[in-house]
Amino acid sequence: MPIQAGEKMPSGTFGVMTDSGPGAITSDELFGGKKVVIVSVPGAFTPTCSMNHLPGFVEQAEAIRSKGVDTIACMAVNDVFVMDAWGKDRGVGDDVVMLADGNGEYARALGLEFDGSAFGMGTRGQRFAIVVDDGVASHVAIEAPGEFEVSKAESILNNL
């Protein structure tokens, strides 16, 4: 069952690119004592993700932060090198933390993985956005397959 508003975010570790190469950040480090918007996309460099979903959060970063959000993070079931390259390609700068969920373990822990084998993608994370207050999900927006409405930046901004 997918995570619900009011539930604690699961423990886990994400890959992140640091100045000295691949590193890691735990869910406790990411969410502890902070308000975070975590966005999940099915894959880096895919059309909707690259042209609409991630850019929306970059464009709305200032407005989202003005609502008390400390961190905007984007997660995908890709490796840290791909997430870093995608972030650079999309010009995220310091606006969005790029999180690699390389084996889909965090998506699975959230109950939000899906089988993309029919598209040659293996197990992936669904498209969603979660507002997290000090480790607890306060708003969960999960897209229906093929949809892009409830998890886009403007919708999340309206729910902060």
Identity of the residue numbered 51: M
Q: Of 27, 48, 40, which is closest to residue 76 (Cα–Cα)?
A: 40
Bridge partner list, 71: 36
Phi, psi (rounded to 5 degrees) for 97: -85, 125
Catalytic status, residue 49 = yes
Cβ-count burial 40-49 (b if 16+ within 10 Å, e if not): bbbbbebebb
How far are the Cα atoms of 1, 36, 80, 97 from residue 144, in angstroms, in the given order? 15, 23, 27, 25
Q: Catalytic: which of 36, 37, 44, 49?
A: 49
Residue that is written with structure tokens 């995570």 in the block? 3
Catalytic annotation, residues: 49
